[in-house]
Structure formats: structure tokens, C-alpha cells
Amino acid sequence: MLINRVILITGGARGIGRGIAEAVLEAGGKVVLADLDNTSLEHTKAELCTIHAVPEQSVFTIPVDVADATSVGAALEAALDNFGQLDGLVNNAGITRLGPNLDASVEDWQQQLNVNLVGTHLCCRKFAELQISAGKPGAIVNIASNAGKVGYPNMAGYNASKAAVISLTRTLSTEWAEHGINVNGVCPGGVDTPMLMEVAVSVGARIGEDPNELLKTMVPAQMGRHIQPLEIGRVVAFLLSDAALIIRGQSINTDGGDTPY
């Protein structure tokens, strides 16, 4: 499905990003793991190469601050130099600042918008520039969230940033279709990741409950279990492939049926 295609994944060192990397390797592709945490990047690379029995040359790591245009440009250029091609981009890097909106600072809002929205924009734009300059098609998948559709309490800044990613996805799909760049998104929910645990810790502290017990309840109602990052990754891998060319500008729910639209 992705034989010999090179996919760059931001936030690739852990959680959903790592699951996406696994799915891309599983589908025969090569991956560029881009993340702020260089130590975790190398650890994840070693594990992925072992699990999937692929040569180290199939996984390239690069530090990146997605909210910084210079850093983004350098990361994508380095990935292109290393592999000689880029075929797909997954914008997975994201942060959340939890708490009642009445208490939220402007800085909290700005951080979430800078990473979740502006970072996605910067990576998309640089990828498109490279592909258009080379006269090559490509695929982008933006990791939004069902929070961008539902609007969960105590997550206003995060919700708003992810809703904006959904809108950006639709816009870029329309703008770049003529260049052969297909843009879609996914909206996960209830995924077994460190970020979900952070949410459980924050909520637990506020309501006086054990976060580990609270985490057990944060599952899709129809499934009764957490979604695994690899399950999200396989949907993303499909959207990166030619089999998904008729799916355009969509932000598909990958939350086990929790979100109705």
C-alpha cells in the first residue's frame, strides 16, 4: 500500500505518532520521525526497527519545533536530503492545557494554537512547497480530534485548535487538489496514549478521583476498551495511499463511534 513511500510524522516519538509510524512500516513505507524529544526519537527508532525487522535506513529521525517556521523548513529539507523524496506528511504533534476556560491564560491559548494549528499550517505549507517545486503529488493527513467536533469541557483552547485543524484540512484540500496533493484528517478519541493519561490526571485532581480508575472509563462506549495507536495508524496509512484518492478534505472520526458526525 505504501511500498517505498517516505512519510514524515510530527510528534512521532510516542503515542499516536508512534502508532502511525508502525502502520507505515507495516504497509511497506519508510518513515521520518520528527519530534522535540531527540532521546525518545532514537529509542523509538530502535524499537520500530526491531519490531518490524527493517534496516535502520528505513527510519530517519530529526528534531523539530513545529511552531517555528525555520525549524520546520530545516526538518523537511533534511528528510528530503536523506531519502531523496517525500511522499506524505502526517501532522500529529499536539499539546493540551487543561482547566476551566475562566482560568485559562492567554499564554495557554497561544501555546495550543501555535503547536496544534500554526504548526500544522507551517508543516503543510513547507511540504506543499517542496512537492509543487518538484512537480510531484503527495498526501497529507492532519491529526485533529473528536474534541474539535464535540467541545469537551475544560479543554476550550484544545477544542478550538482542533476545530480549526478540521477547517484548515478542508481548505487545503481544495487549494492543492490541482497540484495532486490530497489532504485529509482523522479525529481520534479514547486512544491509549500519554496525553489521555494527562487528561485523566488533570480531571482526577479536580474532582478528587484516582486518575488510573478514571482512565478506565475514558473509552468509546461501543467498544468498552481504549483504542490503540496502531489502530489509528492503519487508518492514516490508508489515507496516505492511492486507495484513498477519492477521499478528499475529510476529517474522519476514529473514536469508536462516539461522535455522530
State pLDDT tens for residues 208-225: 889 899 899 999 999 999
Mean pLDDT of 39-68: 95
- Cα(243)–Cα(247) distance, integer angstroms: 9
Within a domain: residue 259?
no
Q: How far is CA 116 from the centre of its chain?
A: 9
pTM of the model: 0.96
Q: For the residues 57-73, what does the mean pLDDT come to?
A: 98
Alpha-carbon distance of 148 to 237, in angstroms, equals 22
Judge if 248 and 174 occupy the same domain: yes
158 is catalytic: yes
Report whether 47 contacts 22 (CB < 8 A): no
Domain hosting residue 85, numbered range = 6-191+228-252
Phi/psi of residue 190, each to 5°? 65, 35
Adjacency order of strands within the sheet including 181-188: 59-63, 30-35, 6-10, 88-91, 138-143, 181-188, 251-254
32 in helix, strand or coil? strand
Query: Is 23 among the domain residues?
Result: yes
**Has residue 139 been placed in a domain?**
yes
Q: What are phi and psi of 253, to 5 degrees?
A: -70, 130
Instruction: Write the single-letter amino acid at 246.
Output: I
pLDDT at 194: 87
Q: How far apart are CA 241 and CA 218, in angstroms?
A: 31
**143 and 62 part of one domain:** yes
Same domain? For 42 and 149 the reply is yes
Is the same domain home to 66 and 161?
A: yes
Q: Which amino acid is at 34?
A: A
In a domain, 240, yes or no: yes
User: Is the backbone of residue 28 left (phi > 0), alpha (psi -120 to 50) or beta?
Assistant: left
Task: Name residues whose C-beta falls within 8 Å of residue 95's C-beta, 6 or more positions apart in sequence.
Answer: 111, 112, 115, 116
The verdict on residue 257 lying in a domain is no
- H or E element, residue 56: none
Rounded Cα–Cα distance for residues 116 and 158 (Å): 8
Range 23-49 average pLDDT? 96
The one catalytic residue among 83, 127, 158, 176:
158
Number of domains in the chain: 2
Average pLDDT over the chain reads 96
CB 113 within 8 A of CB 157: yes
